[in-house]
Amino acid sequence: MCFTLFFCHGGLRLKIGNWSRFLTPERMLLGSFAVMILAGTVLLKLPFCSASGHIRTIDALFTATSAVCVTGLVVLDTGKDFSVAGQLVILTLIQLGGLGIMTFSVLFWNLLGRDISLRGKMALESSLSYSPLRDVLSLAKQVILIAFSFEAIGALLLLLRWLKTFPLQKALYLSLFHAVSAFCNAGFSPFSDSLSSFRGDWAINLVVCSLIVLGGVGFIVIIEIRDRFLRGKRLSLHTKVVLLTTLVLILTGTLLLEVMERGNVLRGGSFGEKIMVSLFHSISARTAGFSTVEIGRMGDAALFLLIILMFIGASPGSCGGGVKTTNLAILFSLAYNRLRGRSEAIMFRRTVPSETVIRSISLIMGSFLFLSLMLFLLLIFHGGGSHHGGTFIKLLFELTSAFGTVGLSTGLTPTLTDVGEIILIVTMLVGRLGLLTTAYALARRVQEPVFRYAEENIMVG
């Protein structure tokens, strides 16, 4: 956090060579996440943070990355292998990683009465996928207020239910942990079986689902909906697309999962319970990673459906990863309008700028290629899972879960080799930051040439 605070302050500037030119908003964002992950790793390595007094460095690094990137994939049992202190470290990393360290840094620096540098403002906007240069301090305050409000309400509702099952202190702790984990779309749980023990509990399922959806649509969407009801402001195209795409994905996923798994993991339950379980995993698969059934027992068709949902992920400016709902909507709109003889992506009687369309296509294709490369490496270094009872689709499932910062698992992640864990660590970080943000942070910027080469057509299709 010190790294981020240092560069948020407009008065602290290093005049060493081209340092200021090197420090782009994307690199600030990547640096802040790297510092958080390293700090979390050191804390989780402390003897009092683990039940046994010692955990391997690679496992601490994996857990810290999963928490900061709000993924939820684990190689150790959160409830059994970590002490309460270790679990609180994980919860803190989830909160910081979910809302973005830049958000807290901007607010903290303002409390000290200091100005925020332009790079600090741009880094915050990059972390929230927010482009207009407006009052970023106001935006940071709203983000934190919204998050804490929903988490508090969710924790209270969960507490009212869990007071019937657990003592007050434990019920309060579990409620707070799951509320933060759900809203930040992390999927971490002190329960070894996630939420499987509450598969038929409508109250817990609906509260957790609501928190996941609210955390997954993005803060800008929540702010616009609030302003729509309080001030009568119209919704932007972005918010309309996010809401429609989210609704379609949830309903489609629920229907398909119920049909595919009614004779498998859903067998034995009532129709209402089957719908609840299907709805829960349709929502959780895109962002969170909580589960109420054993994912490893699902059929290949259901696993592949979840892979698609995880690849799509959440919405821009949210706590989740993936290629984002808006990019999927733009791609479908472009394809649909192309078939009708139009060359633009048109939604809600608005034309999406061509630059945005190109960016969306680049992001989706780049993400597909990145996942393919990571899968290839995982197949090489993990031996295709043949030594651990894994399969190709299960390896693809774990990898996509990491990229989408989801956290659902078939049970294969704890069996991975150290190299396999490193591959997932890289995938989680890229998935949380976004492929383009990561590429901009690592690549060397070059000036756009003042000339253009001559065009020449090639055959396609």
- Residue 319: what are its φ and ψ, rounded to 5°? -90, -5
d(CA 411, CA 297): 10
Task: Tell whether 449 is covered by a domain.
Answer: no
d(CA 257, CA 266): 9
Nearest to 321 by CA among 311, 330, 329, 331: 311
pLDDT at 333: 95
Task: Show the tokens assigned to 117.
Answer: 């540098």
pLDDT at 90: 97
Task: Tell whether 419 is covered by a domain.
Answer: yes
Task: Tell whether 225 is covered by a domain.
Answer: yes
Number of other residues whose CB lies within 10 A of the CB of residue 15: 6
pLDDT at 268: 83
Task: Show the tokens assigned to 440.
Answer: 């901009």
Task: Show the tokens assigned to 199.
Answer: 């598969």
Residue 107 is part of which domain span? 2-441
Task: Tell whether 451 is covered by a domain.
Answer: no
- Does the pTM of the predicted model rise above 0.85? yes
d(CA 115, CA 125): 16
Task: Tell whether 84 is covered by a domain.
Answer: yes
Task: Tell whether 400 is covered by a domain.
Answer: yes
The ranges of the chain with pLDDT < 70 are: 1-22, 101-137, 383-390, 445-449, 461
Nearest to 318 by CA among 238, 373, 412: 238
Task: Show the tokens assigned to 271.
Answer: 């129709």
Judged by DSSP in three states, 235 sits in: coil
d(CA 311, CA 325): 10
d(CA 159, CA 93): 22
Contact 354, 253 (CB under 8 A): no
Angle among Cα 222, 224, 228 to the nearest 5 degrees reads: 115
d(CA 199, CA 204): 9
Task: Tell whether 108 is covered by a domain.
Answer: yes
How many structural domains does the chain have?
A: 1
Decide: residue 353, CB within 10 A, 0-12 exposed, 13-18 middle, 19+ buried: exposed
**Going by C-beta distance under 8 Å and a sequence separation of 6 or more, which residues neighbour residue 9?**
109, 114, 115, 116, 117, 120
> For the chain, how big is the Rg over CA atoms in Å?
22
Task: Tell whether 448 is covered by a domain.
Answer: no
